[in-house]
Structure 1
Amino acid sequence: MIFKLFKKYQSVIAYLFFGGLTTLINFVVFFIFDSGLHWNYQVANFIAWFLSVLFAFFTNKVWVFGSKYTTVKAFFIEMWSFFFYRILSYFIDAGIMFVGISLLHANSSLTKLIDQVVIVVLNYFFSKFFIFKKRN
């Protein structure tokens, strides 16, 4: 029974695990550049986004969705698709950060935490239904 449930929700569990690690990378890198080095929060956010997206691509491809490819071209198409959708979510990410920090004057770490919850859900949707979908 438990094994059946695990098997049924294996990709969701793996996504939550690796999504959690990706979020942790994003948050730690943001904190280092924002609070530690006192860089502009949008620059810190972009660096955090870029590094976490690199990590996420490979973990999602291999361990979450088990995506396999037979050609180099197929790999780069999948990578392009992944980055395209992550760029879309980055603009939402940057928008949330701008509203939270610049307009509402909220704490940057709290804003980043709320932002990441929204982005993780959005990125799962993009990955599951557009990027790593089963191809015939």
Structure 2
Amino acid sequence: MSMIMKLKNLMDKFINRETIVYVIAGVMTTAVNMVTYYILCYWVRMDHLIANIIAWILAVTFAYFVNAGWVFRDKRTTIKEELSKMVKFFLARLFSLGVEEGGLFLFVNLLHFNNMAVKAGLAVIVIVINYIWSKFYVFNNAQKVCSEEVKER
């Protein structure tokens, strides 16, 4: 197999509808997070670590519905199953909150970097972490459902 074919196969595997839509949803979620954080830090004059937690709560709530309905095309089932997915989603995102809080503390509190620049840099890392958690832990059934639908056609 030529190098060009290998590269094409690799690109086909990683550049598809799901990843493109996830990036768009990630940008929208990041915008919710950054705007909320900015307003809380600079207009309300809230501590940046507390502002980050509040911004995270709003962004993760927004992200859950966007990811479930648009990115992973998750089929809504019973209320119990929906709540279970939502809890898994928030628990998985707690790791990325830890990454953000730790990064903000290290780079803003200890090293005195600009908090908005640090938050923007951390957003890239968080988007990748969250995609992996969402795809393989929270919405792993959605892929099976979509695959089965394609097979039935």
User: Same fold per TM (> 0.5)?
Assistant: yes
Aligned to 2:57: 50
Mapping 1:57-136, distance limit 5 Å: 57-134=64-141
**2:27 equivalent among 10, 20, 23:** 20
Structure 1 or 2, whichever has the larger Rg, is 2
More displaced, 13-22 or 87-96? 87-96
Q: TM-score, normalised by structure 1?
A: 0.90
Structure 1 unpaired stretches of 5+: none
Gap runs ≥5 in structure 2: 1-11, 146-153
SS in 1 for 2:75: coil
Alpha-carbon offset, residue 113 of structure 1: 0.3
Equivalent residue number for residue 32 of structure 1: 39
Structure 2 distance, partners of 1:113, 1:66, is 28
* 1:69-89 Cα distance to aligned partner (Å, 9 max, x none): 321111111111001001121
> How many Å separate the matches in 1 of 2:88 and 2:40?
28
| Equivalent residue letter for 2:111 | L
Q: Deviations over 1:40-88 (max 9, x none)?
A: 0011101110000010000000000001132111111111100100112
Of 30-39 and 13-22, more deviation after overlay is shown by 30-39
1:36: Cα distance to partner? 2.0
Question: For residues 96 and 119 of structure 2, what CA distance do their matches in structure 1 show?
Answer: 14
Cα distance in structure 2, aligned partners of 1:79 and 1:47: 18
Q: Structure 1: which 4+ aligned runs deviate by more than 3 Å?
A: none
CA distance in 1, matches of 2:62, 2:129: 17
Identity between Structure 1 and Structure 2 (%): 35
Letter in 2 for 1:81: K
User: TM-score normalized by structure 2?
Assistant: 0.81
Aligned partners of 2:119 and 2:78: how far apart in 1?
A: 38
Q: Classify the secondary structure of the residue corresponding to 2:140.
A: coil
